[in-house]
Amino acid sequence: MNMSSGDDTSRGMRKGLTSYGDARFSLFLRKAFIKGMGYSDDALDRPIIGIANTASGYNACHANVPDLVEAVKRGIMLSGALPIDFPTISIHESFAHPTSMFLRNLMAMDTEELVRAQPMDAVVLIGGCDKTVPAQLMGAASANVPAIQLVTGPMLTGSHRGERVGACTDCRRFWARYRAGEIDDAEISEVNDQLVPGAGTCGVMGTASTMAMVVEALGMMLPGGAAAPAVSADRRRIAEATGACAVRLAAEKLTPDRIMTAKAFENALTVLLAIGGSTNGIVHLTAMAGRLGLELDLDGFDRIGRQVPVLVDLKPSGQHYMEDLHDAGGLPTVLRELRDCLHLDCLTVTGRALGEEIEAAPKPWKQEIVAPLSKPVYPTGGMAVLRGNLAPRGAIIKQSAASESLLAHKGRAIVFSSIEDLTARIDDPDLDVRPDDILVLQNAGPKGAPGMPEAGYMPIPRKLAAQGVKDMVRISDARMSGTASGTIVLHITPESAEGGPLALVRTGDIIELDVPNRRIELLVEGAVLAKRRSEFTPPSHTGSDRGYKKLFLDTVLQADRGCDFDFLVPESVGVTPDRS
């Protein structure tokens, strides 16, 4: 390698030199160290493709990452570039306290800074578990280095006594049966062995699958890249092709801001609705768009939902699993049906437009997983946006996974002031609760919990579950796992810890939910609410005076702004800090 200071410092090993006051010395030193790993000058003169490696002993959803890194490297080297993988934070849903969402922005910052700080002409982001994909794309969008997403892919299904099972809709279903006394300790232990039969992300249309699908629709992933199972040969071939594509992205300097446009986000929202995707998808897409100075319009999202029905018959809204969707052709099968609802001119990582990729996809075959637009699985989009005096800045309900009979419902509020209060009292035999009551959870939002955990799926009180009650209206400022179902209103904004109207609800108040008319109202007189507001005190959190928790509580935005940190969003978005 020539170490002349006149060489192109915008590419390869010369990019972003460490500052020693002498650029040629910086390059000399960098080369000396990397040669310690056995690289030749020929290798070091190539374009460099970084690979964000999120393998972790705590993350079963990423257990195949080492294999994928190898396949990506093969694709990169076959295309004449040099792959270098590097570790970043890895977050698994069940191994992040208090909740994975608390760490999403930290992972986004980690990814952004490492992509920016280290020399790479493009980056392959290997993610999968729920928060990892949005975190990586938030970071990549801010770094604005050519980037392509590769997901680990869904796990295969397991089998319990001949019944097909998969994480984690069936986790919740079996746990609800256990709580109701329908199955015993021995059987729930057997189920526990079968729900996650191997590597990969949850095999239903949970948040991980949702994010994979919408990111493919957004154009940041190879066509067909979302649904191939984690352990399949297809997944490795996709990884190899992703590596090759990254080399082309580097050559063309195709940056995320040219792909993740306002129209591309509309495509992603359309797909989110058509797949019956996770409610978390709207929060993450809002955060990703925000990094590029784009604001997603919740009411516009709801309008799309009135026109775009659910086409994909996957749990929790439907019956099947991600491996079935892959066998049915994956997202391209969905996109073909949605053709007339999409912006077909949006650029993708392949350098071609979305419409060209739909044309190039394999011809359709007979399958029962993706319904035709003329005969959908659910007549409208999977989600609806609610407003009213209880949610002035909006709330979300996954109507496709709710009980039809509860979508228009008036009932008495049973209020839990925190997740701890819920845990302590929900199964109390003396709890005064009836099947037509509405369970209300306060202080479970971005600042209240903190981290907006997936606590919105409140359990049915044990004494009602034992009577056979399967669903009740539940309302909170929390999120819900994409694998869960029920008549559950989420993301109430502003949250109760910010003094939102949810904080003013008391047990015995009447709440009216009217999903067809997109309303949620607290039927309490204004004077009473004003008095309660004057008595409001926000929750305090121990350990919030230092470190990341302080940063989080000081700067996290509300759900309608994607729960990003206010200082990470470009000023052009015009975000007013939610700091209190």
Binding residues (CB under 6 A) for ligand FES: these are 61, 92-93, 129-130, 167-168, 201-202, 206, 208
What is the amino acid identity at position 497?
A
Strands (E) across 268-407 are located at: 384-388, 391-397
What's the min distance (Å) between Cβ of 57 and ligand FES? 14
Closer Cβ to ligand FES, 61 or 254, answer by number: 61
What is the amino acid identity at position 170?
D
* Integer CA distances (angstroms), 149 to 55, 232, 449, 541, in order: 15, 18, 31, 36
* Integer CA distances (angstroms), 247 to 12, 49, 219, 298, in order: 12, 7, 16, 36
What's the min distance (Å) between Cβ of 151 and ligand FES? 10
What's the min distance (Å) between Cβ of 93 and ligand FES? 4
What's the min distance (Å) between Cβ of 41 and ligand FES? 42
Instruction: Pull the structure tokens for residue 479.
Output: 């999120």
What's the min distance (Å) between Cβ of 454 and ligand FES? 11
* Integer CA distances (angstroms), 225 to 219, 229, 407, 422, in order: 11, 10, 35, 40
What's the min distance (Å) between Cβ of 180 and ligand FES? 24
Closer Cβ to ligand FES, 156 or 426, answer by number: 156
Closer Cβ to ligand FES, 166 or 411, answer by number: 166
Closer Cβ to ligand FES, 206 or 229, answer by number: 206
Beta bridge partners of 409: 513
What's the min distance (Å) between Cβ of 201 and ligand FES? 4
List the one residue out of 112, 122, 171, 169 whose CA is nearest residue 145.
122
Cα(107)–Cα(370) distance, rounded to whole angstroms? Answer: 34
List the one residue out of 410, 427, 422, 394 whose CA is nearest residue 509.
410
Angle at 458 between CA 455 and CA 554, to 5 degrees: 25
Which DSSP string corresponds to 124-153? EEEE-STTHHHHHHHHHHHHT--EEEEE--
Do the Cβ atoms of 60 and 67 come closer than 8 Å? no
Cα(542)–Cα(547) distance, rounded to whole angstroms? Answer: 12
Instruction: Pull the structure tokens for residue 212.
Output: 């994979």
Closer Cβ to ligand FES, 130 or 477, answer by number: 130
Closer Cβ to ligand FES, 53 or 442, answer by number: 53
Cα(124)–Cα(254) distance, rounded to whole angstroms? Answer: 13
Closer Cβ to ligand FES, 202 or 268, answer by number: 202
Q: Is 505 exposed, middle or buried (0-12, 13-18, 19+ CB in 10 A)?
A: buried
Handedness of CA 260, 312, 231, 362 (dihedral sign): negative
Cα(174)–Cα(299) distance, rounded to whole angstroms? Answer: 36
Closer Cβ to ligand FES, 73 or 92, answer by number: 92
Closer Cβ to ligand FES, 245 or 452, answer by number: 452
List the one residue out of 497, 352, 471 whose CA is nearest residue 417.
497
Closer Cβ to ligand FES, 202 or 395, answer by number: 202
Closer Cβ to ligand FES, 100 or 476, answer by number: 100
HSE, CB side, 13 Å, CA atoms: give it for residue 462: 14
What's the min distance (Å) between Cβ of 199 and ligand FES? 11
What's the min distance (Å) between Cβ of 89 and ligand FES? 14
Cα(303)–Cα(306) distance, rounded to whole angstroms? Answer: 5
What is the amino acid identity at position 35?
K
Provide the 3-class DSSP secondary structure of residue 89. Answer: coil
What's the min distance (Å) between Cβ of 211 and ligand FES? 9
What's the min distance (Å) between Cβ of 92 and ligand FES? 6
Element spanning 31, H or E: helix 23-35
Closer Cβ to ligand FES, 201 or 286, answer by number: 201
Do the Cβ atoms of 270 and 380 come closer than 8 Å? no
What's the min distance (Å) between Cβ of 94 and ligand FES? 6
Closer Cβ to ligand FES, 202 or 245, answer by number: 202
What's the min distance (Å) between Cβ of 67 and ligand FES? 17
What's the min distance (Å) between Cβ of 292 and ligand FES? 25
Closer Cβ to ligand FES, 63 or 342, answer by number: 63
Closer Cβ to ligand FES, 193 or 252, answer by number: 193
What's the min distance (Å) between Cβ of 461 and ligand FES? 26
Which DSSP string corresponds to 368-432? SSB--TTS-SBSS-S-EEEEETTEEEEEEE-GGGS-GGGSEEEEEEEEESSHHHHHHHTT-TT--
Instruction: Pull the structure tokens for residue 40.
Output: 């030749």
